[in-house]
A and B are shown apart, each in its own frame.
Chain A
Amino acid sequence: MKRWLPLAAFAVLLGFLFAGLWLDPREVPSPLIGRPAPAFTLPVLERPGLTFSPADARGKAWLLNVWAPWCRTCRREHAFLMELAAAGVAIYGLNWQDQAREARRLLAEIGSPYALTVDDQDGRAGIDWGVTGVPETFLVDADGLVRAKHSGPLNARVYARMFAPLLEGKGP
């Protein structure tokens, strides 16, 4: 019995290390969860001269998808975002620190899943939202509170686990 003790302790340690292999270091809990969506007023990419603030989207739950034209990972979630948009989910895009012209050109080329996209040229809004990279997706509820955040490309599995329960199953 006594002889097995070190082995058992080693097995427990191994178990922890093994589980650690599947943890995503990018999946950092956001301090914004449960807090009001950080305000910004940014130019709308699709409609020059117009601006958009999170307060304008009050009354209905929506997604804020942070992306950039140069971002290849964002392309991987594009098809799924199109599906979501088709299912009636309101998605607002935030073009993070890249040229508006590039973003406009790309959306015209591959199709836009966004109700509208705002242009965060200096990354200021990104800092207020705690954005560390693209893509990132936030869920803001009808009361304007941030309810979920996902770092990395959005897909059906992540959506079903993190977002759909909060949107009463809305989406594909």
Chain B
Amino acid sequence: MRRWSRPIALVAALALPALAVEAPPNADEPALEQRLLALTADLRCVVCQNESLAESRAPLAKDLRDEVRGLMRQGRTDDEVVNYLKARYGDFVLYRPPFKPVTYLLWLGPALFLGIGGLAWFVAIRRRQRAAATSDLPTH
């Protein structure tokens, strides 16, 4: 039995890359799990669209977490992992959409509307002041 344990372990080790998909959580890697949680909290679960990849219990979300864990174990950076998912599911997986022409209105919209509101407010006040100044009657 002892005689075979080493060759078996060796063969099992050689087969590891084939299991790269299956990367279940490992209690011995708290730092990696922490990193996984931090990254996937900012990614969207593509099945249940209003949940993050970190919190979703959908089977595909679990597969994707395993996939991300596998990539991290291979030493990929967060950016590389995000690009991996972006190449497959698009910007849609990002909870923070990138700043590019199609998202200009999304990012700048609030400032734009604030500007419009501020302008309307300013114009209204000026008009009222002018009306008060030209009127002979007291305003109160």
Q: Are B64 and A28 in contact (CB under 8 A)?
A: no
Q: Does B49 have its Cβ within 8 Å of any Cβ on chain A? A: yes
Q: Are B90 and A28 in contact (CB under 8 A)?
A: yes
Q: Are B47 and A127 in contact (CB under 8 A)?
A: no
Q: Are B49 and A130 in contact (CB under 8 A)?
A: no
A123 and B90 in contact, given A132-B46, A132-B47, A133-B47 (Cβ under 8 angstroms): no
The size of the chain A interface, using a CB distance under 8 A, is 16
The answer for the CA separation of A122 and B89 in the assembled complex, in Å, is: 18
Secondary structure of the B contact surface, majority rule:
helix
Which residues of B lie under 8 Å from residue A127 when comparing CB positions?
A: 63-64, 67, 88
- Output the residue of A29, A124, A127 with the most chain B CB within 10 A: A127
Which residues of A lie under 8 Å from residue B21 when comparing CB positions?
A: 122, 124
Which residues of B lie under 8 Å from residue A128 when comparing CB positions?
A: 88
Nearest to A123 among chain B residues (CB) is: B63
Q: Does B95 have its Cβ within 8 Å of any Cβ on chain A? A: no
Q: Does A31 have its Cβ within 8 Å of any Cβ on chain B? A: yes
The answer for the CA separation of A128 and B92 in the assembled complex, in Å, is: 15
Which residues of A lie under 8 Å from residue B90 when comparing CB positions?
A: 28-31, 130
Interface 0/1 of A1-39, CB less than 8 Å to B: 000000000000000000000000100111110000000
Q: Are A132 and B89 in contact (CB under 8 A)?
A: yes
- Output the residue of B21, B47, B67, B89 with the most chain A CB within 10 A: B89
B interface residue numbers (CB < 8 A to A): 21-22, 46-47, 49, 59-60, 63-64, 67, 86-92
The 6 closest A-B pairs by CB, nearest first: A130-B88, A31-B90, A132-B46, A28-B92, A130-B89, A124-B21
17 intermolecular pairs with C-beta atoms under 8 Å apart: A28-B90, A31-B86, A31-B88, A31-B90, A31-B91, A32-B88, A122-B21, A123-B60, A123-B63, A127-B64, A127-B67, A128-B88, A130-B46, A130-B90, A132-B46, A133-B47, A133-B60
